[in-house]
Amino acid sequence: MRPDRWKTAVLIACAVATGWVGWSGNLSLLPVSVAFPYLWSRAPSRASAALLSAGYFLAASRGLPLGVAAFYQSDIWPGLILWLVASSGFVFVQSVLWTGRQGGRSGLAYLIAMILMASPPFGVLGWAHPITAAGVVFAGWGWVGLIGMAAGLSVMATRFWPTAALTFAGCWLWSAAFWTQPQIGREWRGIDLQLGARMGREAGLAYQHDLLATIVRSETPNRFVVLPESALGFWTPTVATVWQANAVKGRMTVVAGAAVVNETGYDNVLVRITGQRAEVVYRERMPVPGAMWQPWRQLAGESGGARAHFFANPVVEIAGKKIAPLICYEQLIVWPILQSMLHHPDMVLAVGNGWWTTGTSIVEIQRTSVVAWARLFYKPFVMSFNT
């Protein structure tokens, strides 16, 4: 085997390990992902850069095939195909921008790749972005930390990578030693549920009463209760009336996931319910591509699928607080949270419905991403997931 082949094989193995460990769902291991630009810049050819990029992405998103099989109750093959398709954007960007030089040109190329994978259209599939580790390395630094992380990742693609690596390590240790999490207070509480596939698929009043009973059994004294994505199923006047009546009794505000159906498809939303009002406060900016968001239907003149509201409603106001909302898939990509942070929210609210991820680390990765971004901007957060 020629030396270049040996080098490619070693780099691919390292890229797979980087994606696997960095995106294991363990917050403290997230900075391992910063090794990717170094590996990418060392690729001996464009084809090698494409292969190691695929190895990193596929390892980081390894739970997708099993999750898709569970969601559609099918065999593994549709999940494998979607897994490969999902990696195409990342691999395309990384391979096209690879330069084969380890100087400033390589660093600039990686900076461009970072920006492309953090914003639409490529950012729609921008999972496993190493810049997410900014929340661990530069906790509390906000936009300065984000810029520092982007600069450091660019330097990792140059011959000066040891300087960036040592800086990352030092800041990582400093953050770990002195970090304190801002408290959200006792007024807010996210309730995790274990209702499996029932959530979002049952529409009867019996289900709504069971869900209400779950909140009562939790004996929560909180004024604001957060329930997972799709918790209320289809949002109808009847469902709103049932929940309003109980909000009055409990003297609380409920923020929960639901679906609003229209003639062209549906919106994945968050609703706010009080004794006085029940209303949609947030429409998901980026539903799951393929499984939920299916833009080809409109091109073919068909209805169905979830609508993407892209840059709409980056923050919502609840009881005088500006909230940065993230529903499910939005927690895995970069631009929704950064768009929200431009509006200076008071806290982050994240919900998900991950019953189909059993046996994978997808929900843990979602939680890790939310915590990392909240840490970077020093924001309190509340989360609620169904498994």
Place of tokens 């990582």: 172
The pLDDT value recorded for residue 100 is 82
- The tally of CA atoms less than 13 A away on the side-chain side of residue 187 is 13
pLDDT in tens, 275-289: 889 999 999 999 999
Residue-averaged pLDDT of the chain: 92
Three-class DSSP category at 344: coil
The pLDDT value recorded for residue 220 is 60
The pLDDT value recorded for residue 81 is 85
The pLDDT value recorded for residue 221 is 63
- CA 357, chain centre distance (Å): 14
Q: Which ranges in the chain are annotated with CATH 3.60.110.10? A: 188-386
Q: Where are the beta strands (DSSP E) in the chain?
A: 188-190, 224-226, 253-261, 266-273, 278-283, 316-318, 321-327, 347-353, 381-386
Indicate the class that CATH gives domain 188-386: alpha beta
pLDDT in tens, 202-235: 768 888 888 888 777 765 667 899 999 999 999 9
- What tokens were used for 220? 């929560």
Q: What angle do CA 253, 258, 263 make, to 5 degrees?
A: 135
Question: Which residue ranges of the chain lie beneath pLDDT 70?
Answer: 1-3, 203, 218-221, 248, 250
Amino acid at position 277, single letter: R
Answer whether 0.75 is exceeded by the pTM.
yes
Region of 359 on the Ramachandran plot (φ > 0 left; ψ -120 to 50 alpha; else beta): left
Three-state SS letters, 100-148: CCCCHHHHHHHHHHHHHHHCCCHHHHCCCCHHHHHHHHCCCCHHHHHHH
